[in-house]
Amino acid sequence: MNKTIQTKEYADFIQRLRKARLEAGLKQIEVAKKMKRPQSYISRVESGEYRLDILEVKRFAKLYKKSIDYFLK
């Protein structure tokens, strides 16, 4: 049984998160090192396996030099 935590709205959020990383010119491993997390964490976040809380979104926004609003459109 395949469970998903993604709604259409969350899938759009994840897409913007991935796009922001690419626009920042960063690889997952680079983001992981900056956030002191394993690369698998970044991969799972971007695949929708892990849901982020607002504090994590804030960390990604700061790292990618985006406003939180960018991710919450």
Assigned architecture for domain 8-71 = Orthogonal Bundle (1.10)
- What does the pLDDT read at residue 25? 98
CA angle 72, 41, 37 (to 5 degrees): 105
Q: Where are the domains of the chain?
A: 8-71
Residues 6+ apart with CB under 8 A from 38: 32
Give the per-residue pLDDT at 13: 94
CA–CA separation, 13 and 10 (whole Å) = 5
Question: Tens of pLDDT along 28-60?
Answer: 999 999 999 999 999 999 998 998 999 999 999
Indicate the pTM of the whole model: 0.87
